[in-house]
């Protein structure tokens, strides 16, 4: 099944308030990311400021960092940022870490009288930096009726060979209607997230599995090329089979190493 492009959404003038979105919660899993987490949080604070200027009456924005099995100073970095909520996880699996952050978000919202249908969950990664209009774009899409948003990413040009970056660009559809799934740029409304069973407790592909489950639950999934997220181009990642492995395969191919691409589609 293919996600709809944004241009297929109805009522471009609708607002999040029109469909009852009262809170947007950003969930960020972080494992041994003390060096990269500050850039991530800087970008999220900027995106929050831009969003609040655009929507001064709300929805509210919450940023939740899930510090997962970290042995460096990731927890210390997260705790130093004003307004950042910190959840601790010992799973060592990104699926479980994302799920812990969403559980914290939806649980506290429900206690405050706000059902999952009033919450938009925006996901990114600790090694990534969202653009300033990221939250505005997510909420515009939610306000127009989307129950899930699949965004795009761009590898950090400062961490990747030019030839590898050009190869990556040739393999990726950048615009609306693209086929890609990235946990670093994904949004989902709380009620369809719950109906789909949430993030699976897996070390990789938790984002792909959630998208499939949302489709199976009848959710309206939209893929957008707007507001791409800058993400790390490192080739040694936190989990086997993830984005870093995909970039390493491209790197090896460019440098004449005969290697299999990971199952993850990039």
* pLDDT value at residue 263: 37
* Range in 63-77, 140-154, 187-201, 223-237 with the lowest mean pLDDT: 223-237
Find tokens 């789909």 and name the residue. Answer: 196
Confidence band (pLDDT; 50, 70, 90) for 162?
low
| Strand ranges for the chain from DSSP E | 4-5, 23-30, 60-68, 84-89, 119-123, 128-129, 148-150, 153-155, 186-189, 221-223, 229-231
CB 178 within 8 A of CB 153: no
* pLDDT value at residue 121: 98
* pLDDT value at residue 254: 53
Beta bridge partners of 66: 29, 87
User: What digits encode the pLDDT tens for the residues 151-161?
Assistant: 999 888 777 66
* Range in 132-141, 155-164, 186-195, 245-254 with the lowest mean pLDDT: 245-254
* pLDDT value at residue 13: 59
* pLDDT value at residue 191: 98
Q: Average pLDDT for residues 64-78, to the nearest whole number?
A: 98
The Cα 168–Cα 126 span in angstroms is: 21
89: phi then psi, degrees, rounded to nearest 5: -135, 145
pLDDT surpassing 70 at residue 265: no
**Domain positions in the chain:** 4-232
* pLDDT value at residue 38: 98
CATH fourth-level superfamily of 4-232: Spore Coat Polysaccharide Biosynthesis Protein SpsA; Chain A (3.90.550.10)
Beta bridge partners of 155: 231
Q: Is the dihedral of CA 127, 244, 74, 151 positive or negative?
A: positive
User: What digits encode the pLDDT tens for the residues 4-63?
Assistant: 777 667 565 566 666 799 999 999 999 999 999 999 999 999 999 999 999 999 999 999
pLDDT surpassing 90 at residue 193: yes
* pLDDT value at residue 258: 43
């Amino acid at each position: 099944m293919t996600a709809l492009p944004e241009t297929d959404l109805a009522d471009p003038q609708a607002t999040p308030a029109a469909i009852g979105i009262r809170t947007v919660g950003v969930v960020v899993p972080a494992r041994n990311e003390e060096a990269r987490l500050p850039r991530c949080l800087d970008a999220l604070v900027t995106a929050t400021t831009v969003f609040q200027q655009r929507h001064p009456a709300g929805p509210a924005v919450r940023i939740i960092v899930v510090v997962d099995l970290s042995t460096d100073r990731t927890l210390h970095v997260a705790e130093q940022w004003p307004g950042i909520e910190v959840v601790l996880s010992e799973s060592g699996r990104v699926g479980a870490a994302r799920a812990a952050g969403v559980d914290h978000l939806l649980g506290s919202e429900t206690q405050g009288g706000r059902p999952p249908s009033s919450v938009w969950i925006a996901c990114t990664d600790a090694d990534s930096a969202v653009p300033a209009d990221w939250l505005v774009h997510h909420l515009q899409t939610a306000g127009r009726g989307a129950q899930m948003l699949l965004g795009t990413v761009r590898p950090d040009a400062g961490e990747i060979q030019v030839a590898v970056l050009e190869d990556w660009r040739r393999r990726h559809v950048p615009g609306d209607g693209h086929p890609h799934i990235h946990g670093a740029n994904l949004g989902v409304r709380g009620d369809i997230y719950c109906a789909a069973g949430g993030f699976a407790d897996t070390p990789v592909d938790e984002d792909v599995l959630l998208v499939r489950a949302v489709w199976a639950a009848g959710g309206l999934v939209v893929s957008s090329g707007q507001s791409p997220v800058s993400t790390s181009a490192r080739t040694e990642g936190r989990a086997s089979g993830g984005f870093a492995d995909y970039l390493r395969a491209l790197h090896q191919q460019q440098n004449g190493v005969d290697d299999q691409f990971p199952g993850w589609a990039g």
